[in-house]
Structure 1
């Protein structure tokens, strides 16, 4: 076996078994590693997105990348059932097509959706996958998953460009994403995050014709969706 890989996996297992977070000294003791050795491995795992630290917190947490992998291998149907009532509330309040999506690798996977009863409406993308940079909800994920964002921007900087990078910064500041006919002509959308213990687990979106969803309504819907995510 490759010792460095074995040690890294042992550290991740220890953090997971401890409920998702541990301090450096606890990790060193649990893995029987020298503190400096454990710290160096944690630095590498952090750079790759497998562990992270929060501001003003000395503990190490499982990072966005490993939580994303866990979600892919986990129970999507359980997440869908748990968040379905909020999706239904958003559909009733907006009258537009609503959807729930999750990060899946470097793509957006549309896990659930409810189509608008209107004749002119956005279609459901349930079961589909799209690139992260191609939609409001994809940009939302990049704004709330810093390691994934860093990797995508470094790999596809020429394709993404500074305008998209700037928009991701603005999304992180205001807490929601909007799309005004960028993804599809005549279609506007707004997306908000679903967070659990400060970590992004999914995102909700509402999409509809721009004639019914001007910029002013996008802001109103963002506030409504954010409130529904808090209740």
Structure 2
């Protein structure tokens, strides 16, 4: 790897980790580099609008160039493009918010978000990164990975987000086994207190898992006995439809699990 590019990527990763603005010293401490090195890299990134410096505090944040790159990524995502109409249909039929996501490292990235079709105030979550183990979308993807990929996912850092988050291999393995058997995954207040999710995997033409689609909303509503079965059916139907639009055939363990 080219060292300067790797260091610049580390800085962008730190600035995108959740803290709005960081000073040079804080960034240097987090990436383990000398302050002059970090300062030089920040100046270069700033020239390309990938970072921006606050004129009052001198601290740095991600710049508008990152947003342009993110939008270009979304525009070029076949998974997102193929899922648009099915996600909209699922939201209307289910009466719930719908997310489409793909796995990136230890997190799932939300590529598309259709609001719940009512008048409640909602926040657009496109671009949100959620630890895979704490959400139905991530579990739906990891459950259908190869054994080696699944082992690596379980061996990574499994952070605690709420009091109900499962963070051990012993707790998560049965959950993934069940998701693989059923063809869908469920999460109950493990990412956000009060919220739950139901998601199913989306398959690409080569038979690999490209991502997942699911409904997200209030746990007492999504997981209520009178709603859950219908939502599972709607979610798996949407996942099948997107998979077929991506060119997945009828064969394969994932589509077989989806019915």
**TM-score under structure 2 length normalisation:** 0.55
Residue 203 of structure 1 is matched in structure 2 by: 212
Residue 148 of structure 1 is matched in structure 2 by: 149
> How much does 1:182 deviate?
2.4
SS at match of 1:144: coil
Q: What are the within-5 Å matches in structure 2 for residues 106-125 of structure 1?
A: 106-119=106-119, 123-125=123-125
Residue 174 of structure 1 is matched in structure 2 by: 182
Residue 184 of structure 1 is matched in structure 2 by: 192
Name the count of aligned residue pairs: 159
Residue 100 of structure 1 is matched in structure 2 by: 100
Q: What are the within-5 Å matches in structure 2 for residues 8-27 of structure 1?
A: none
Give the Cα separation in 1 of the matches to 2:145 and 2:169: 18
Residue 69 of structure 1 is matched in structure 2 by: none
Give the Cα separation in 1 of the matches to 2:216 and 2:229: 13
Give the Cα separation in 2 of the matches to 1:221 and 1:195: 20
Q: Using a 3 Å threshold, how does the CA distance of structure 1 residues 214 and 154 change in structure 2: closer, same or farther?
A: closer
Segments of 5+ residues of structure 2 without an aligned counterpart are: 1-72, 160-166, 242-259
C-alpha RMSD of matched pairs (Å): 2.5
Residue 91 of structure 2 is matched in structure 1 by: 91
Segments of 5+ residues of structure 1 without an aligned counterpart are: 1-72
Give the Cα separation in 2 of the matches to 1:105 and 1:157: 12
> How much does 1:80 deviate?
1.6
> How much does 1:114 deviate?
0.8
| 2:238 paired with 1:228 | yes
Give the Cα separation in 2 of the matches to 1:157 and 1:95: 31
SS at match of 2:220: coil
Q: Deviations over 1:30-58 (max 9, x none)?
A: xxxxxxxxxxxxxxxxxxxxxxxxxxxxx
